[in-house]
Chains A and B, each alone.
Chain A
């Protein structure tokens, strides 16, 4: 009887010990969670801080001009009247131009590198393309200003005008500097980014997906079309967003070739113009405290908002593509 009681309490002790083992709090996990949370908060803080600085410092022009800051085309420190319509237009115009040309070109080059290029050449080309991405933007700007703009002025734009002048895009006086030059330079600058990202994501297409198509007698192109691109499209889109972000914000190279004139928004690619970034770069040196400085900072705020909106739209697009890819049950096998 007593022996039974002893063994019972022993069993209880063992159970308590077991409970203690399972309840041990491990500090490592807690610590790690805290650290990563801190990092995220730092990033969020930076974004919020940027937004706060931009908003608070542009309050004078926001109060003074309100919405007309967006629709006014004059940026005139002499009369202290400011508007950034030409710059908003120029930013969107040159970035759209760059995307329209860089996406198909970049995708095509990436497909060639992944599927058609002879193996030894593949690494050399990939290396050169990554190198292209590493060239400082001021060098692109110099090339644009010293080589591209004169050529456009003397040969490129007159030719376009002569042959395609009936399009509003190629109407107007050839100037050399302008949307066309800026668009071309931006295209060149974002091209390596799009190629690199597309190439990386296409390379990791599961072999099983490629072979599924190959085993059905598909051609190389059909394998790319039906196995590689559906798999890679989300990643490619991610690369395009990165590229768009770079095109919207690119400052140095664009400033050097866009002409920096606050012209009426015009469809003509020959028009010299402004982008939000080039307004800031051009005017910042002379800015005096007051409305002038506030106007420059508000231009930055608008650029910040445009970037934010395009990124949100892009995230949303990516999420919807991913939902579609994963199907109703979610997750791939």
Chain B
């Protein structure tokens, strides 16, 4: 990323420190099929936690439980606790949409709103939730695009359709859209799997930069990516959390045999 942008952005931003998440005894189902079994995991603040594992191991399901998105699918169900800032987001009287406003999410496929402009795509969150408009909204959109390292590329065409951007740019636009709500936590569900290597590198650099201000949980099927960007890594298999620890530790001295088999490429 352009160093000048980084400095300019970090100067213009002052936000509260990211928040820790503590997942306790979490179980999740799709209809009758159980996808997660008794997950216990702590996500430290201002860090990158990677969730790895083969397809269907439950890592995406877990991340979707962290902003209460899982339960929006027909038949989907969650049990257990996710403690954020001392409060269980599955507790009584908690409104899922308020949770989602504070725990942002970026998806596997870039999903900008196709009928809206670049500006509108970033502005929609603050518009809906904070009622911002006018110059304050413009400032926030610019800041979010800068944080997502997209500002320089789009500043002259903010009102072009979001679909006029390349795939990598669209993904950074979606990151900017999530950041515009100034969330405490940013969840990323395989954010690079639909991107080319150069865009992947840009997004990875962005993640490393963003962890100074946000707590990040990133799902990836790419072990090299986890090794490059994550402070901590958790390995999942068949809906169970097999092992979790510091990234380097997990990749060099795995404690469980399944982890070793997976990271050494014996399956998955």
Interface of A toward B, CB cutoff 8 Å: 119, 206, 208-219, 222, 226-227, 230-231, 324-329, 331-333
Contact = CB atoms under 8 A, between A and B. Distances in A.
A218 B97 contact: yes
Interface string B149-182: 0000000000011111001001000100110010
B110 to A, nearest CB: 7
Chain B interface residue count: which class?
A: 35 or more
B129 interface: yes
A208 B128 contact: no
A324 B69 contact: no
Given A217-B97, A327-B160, A327-B164, A208 B125 contact: no
Contact of A209 (B67, B74, B111, B128): B111
Contact of A333 (B98, B128, B170): B170
Contacts of A331: 163
Given A208-B111, A211-B69, A218-B97, 7 more contacts: A209-B111, A209-B114, A211-B111, A212-B113, A213-B113, A215-B100, A215-B105
Given A226-B124, A327-B164, A333-B110, A216 B115 contact: no
A209 B162 CA distance: 13
Contact of A328 (B98, B111, B112, B164): B164
B101 interface: yes
Interface of B: 67, 69, 72, 74, 97-102, 104-105, 107, 109-116, 124-125, 128-129, 160-164, 167, 170, 174, 177-178, 181
Contacts of B128: 216-218, 222, 226
A16 B101 CA distance: 67
A208 B109 contact: yes
Q: Which 7 A-B pairs have the closest CB atoms?
A: A327-B161, A217-B101, A215-B105, A208-B111, A216-B125, A230-B115, A327-B163
Contact of B164 (A209, A227, A230, A329): A329
Given A208-B109, A209-B111, A325-B114, A217 B181 contact: yes
Nearest to A325: B115
A235 to B, nearest CB: 14
Contacts of A222: 128
Main secondary structure of the interface of A (DSSP, over half): helix
Nearest to A324: B115
A239 to B, nearest CB: 19
Given A211-B69, A332-B163, A333-B170, A327 B177 contact: no
Contact of B113 (A214, A215, A230, A328): A230
Contact of B67 (A212, A215, A218, A329): A215
Nearest to B114: A332
Contact of B111 (A212, A230, A326): A212
Given A211-B111, A215-B104, A325-B115, A333 B129 contact: no
A237 to B, nearest CB: 14
B171 to A, nearest CB: 10
A217 B100 contact: yes
B229 to A, nearest CB: 21
A325 B117 CA distance: 10
A216 B123 CA distance: 11
Contacts of A217: 97-102, 125, 128-129, 181
Contacts of A231: 114-115
Contacts of A332: 114, 163
Contacts of B129: 216-217
B163 A214 contact: no
A214 to B, nearest CB: 6
B262 to A, nearest CB: 28
A328 B165 CA distance: 10
A92 B72 CA distance: 44
A3 B67 CA distance: 76
Nearest to A327: B161
A326 B114 CA distance: 7
A215 B72 CA distance: 11
A217 B101 CA distance: 4
A211 B67 CA distance: 11
